[in-house]
Chains A and B, each alone.
Chain A
């Protein structure tokens, strides 16, 4: 078990052909603490698999260093890094039984037979595969095969970390929950450092203590699921996390208000004018946007609150526990989440809860440390 440090990792497929196309990683610094459960979240092609393969040693980065417990392992091949990896498609050795499959990495590492058997037995029972131990692995269903691939990582006592590359893609939806719960259990029991790559936010948010959101080879935000939800550092994160995603509207700043066209939205904080050197709106270099989650917009009747933003209803989608209301504010489309039972006024107006209104400058959360300046 180990902490993993990425020191300025960058990668480009420019000179070699690859299935991943030319996804590049742009200088990534990060430290994964020993024993943590992390998720790498991002759309397809954002470089998350590349990053994973760099950690496991299947790829050598074009630049930067990988450190395990402060030791530079950048030039070590995969088999010497003691990393276990579970792939998108279950990999089992067809001709072997389930038990033999789990035994394989130990056999390759020349472990004594007694230790081998004991270890395999332990992992088999832990994954609930004991009954299938003598079955040929090839005939089993994808979820069991995926457990076998996981098991091959778990049997190794020397494993520094277990990496998962979208491991639940081929699993039936109802089994996904089971398998994810089992993963959590494994993590609690063995406390391996686990890094989980996925493009599914539910998977990432339920599995990980900390989630790293990536886009086009860059890390946009690292945080707990709650941080990602409540203060997305980037408009992409706001939109990507949450269902439906954050509403993003172009705006301007006017002291304690943000204005969208002729509408004024009160803000919880005044963005200090001193940071804007300039004239009209002093300093608003770049594009300003306002972000608000559908959960944090209240719908009221227009006549009740004259300060609310009048909007017209385009459509209402009833999802049972809540409704998603599509509204138009001038020409901007806005989604609002209305809890079950709450009425939808026929001529509605919106109230944005000020503490949840975020301002983004050039897509980056304004007033946060991560913003470029």
Chain B
């Protein structure tokens, strides 16, 4: 006969409370809103899946989703190769290492809305270095009026802000490669490209996976910087899902549709991240023992 001691549950209690308050209760509140309609005065009516249907049938939602997908793909396509390239060029020893690392970490230390403000001023045609410089070169640049210019500015800002994260991750992967690998490759007569292709890239695979996942999730949830820079404009051209969501929830106070939309948004991110992760670890699995499976 086993002697059960139910007092052990007490030990789990603090963690349960923490998880409940940080995740479960907020999430359930959103779920609660998403299936009800409210006219203020704390009056709620059950509406079932109506808000979800509305969200999934609205053009506004799909447009914002497409903008998000486009933005994330462009940002990933630029930041990942650029980050790898910079990491490869960084010095491996000496004082230069610390200098480079500090320089690289700087953009990451700046609060996000400050990044937005920096670029907002930087891009202004009247006083901004970038904006004024471009217009005085005779280019028709104005991010507040031209959607393409707005996109270019938002993307440049994201690259400036986040490439260094990719650099730092890749660099950590690179310095972890033992010197003997390079020496062996040297002796085997390997070319620079062969060293990258056969030693550096495979050895960076794990950190690259993390970099891609982080950059994807972050860029897909982007809010602060474009909100400060363009406010979603001109028109709706830089209105991403998150900006749209805040407009709906706080601006229009449509709690129900906003809750439904945020749940859909959440599921999309979850699904895409899972797909990314599975695809990338799968391709890794036949070459190497994956997580949990070790030889």
Give chain A's interface residues, CB within 8 Å of chain B: 17, 19, 53, 56, 58, 77-79, 83-85, 87-89, 91, 93-96, 104-105, 108-109, 136, 138-139, 149, 152-153
Contacts and interface: CB of A to CB of B under 8 A. Distances in A.
Contacts of A89: 178, 180
A139 B287 CA distance: 8
Given A79-B188, A91-B180, A93-B202, 4 more contacts: A85-B187, A108-B194, A136-B287, A149-B184
B98 interface: no
Given A85-B183, A88-B180, A95-B202, A108 B188 contact: yes
B181 A79 contact: no
Contacts, number: 70
Interface string B174-210: 0000111101101111110010001100110000000
Contacts of A152: 184, 188
Contact of B184 (A17, A53, A87, A95): A87
A94 B202 contact: yes
B199 A93 contact: yes
In terms of DSSP, what is the predominant structure of the interface of chain A? mixed
B183 A87 contact: yes
Chain B interface residue number, banded: 20 to 34
B288 interface: yes
B289 to A, nearest CB: 6
Interface of B: 93-94, 178-181, 183-184, 186-191, 194, 198-199, 202-203, 286-289, 295
Contacts of A96: 198
Contact of A58 (B93, B183, B202, B295): B183
B181 A108 contact: no
Nearest to B179: A19
B287 A138 contact: yes
Main secondary structure of the interface of B (DSSP, over half): helix
A56 B187 contact: yes
A150 B291 CA distance: 30
A331 B180 CA distance: 48
B99 to A, nearest CB: 16
B198 A104 contact: yes
29 contacts: A17-B94, A19-B179, A56-B187, A58-B187, A78-B186, A78-B187, A79-B186, A79-B188, A79-B190, A85-B184, A88-B180, A89-B180, A91-B180, A91-B184, A93-B202, A94-B287, A94-B288, A95-B202, A96-B198, A104-B194, A108-B190, A108-B191, A108-B194, A109-B189, A136-B286, A136-B288, A139-B288, A139-B295, A152-B188
A91 B188 CA distance: 11
Nearest to A153: B187
* Residue of A85, A88, A95, A136 contacting most chain B CB atoms (<10 Å): A95
Nearest to A19: B179
B288 A58 contact: no
Contacts of A93: 198-199, 202
A295 to B, nearest CB: 39
Contacts of B190: 79, 104, 108
Contacts of B188: 79, 104-105, 108, 152
B189 A105 contact: yes
A61 B94 CA distance: 21
Contacts of B288: 94, 136, 138-139
Nearest to B191: A108
Contacts of B287: 94-95, 136, 138
A85 B183 CA distance: 9
A83 B188 CA distance: 9
A138 B181 CA distance: 13
6 closest A-B pairs by CB = A79-B189, A87-B180, A91-B184, A105-B188, A108-B189, A94-B202
B189 A94 contact: no
Contacts of B178: 89, 91
A152 B185 CA distance: 10
Given A17-B94, A94-B202, A79 B187 contact: yes
A83 B184 contact: no
A79 B180 CA distance: 15
Contacts of B94: 17
Contacts of A104: 188, 190, 194, 198
A108 B187 CA distance: 10
Contacts of A153: 187
Nearest to B289: A139
B195 to A, nearest CB: 10
A109 B190 CA distance: 9
Nearest to B180: A87
Contacts of A85: 183-184, 187
B202 A83 contact: no
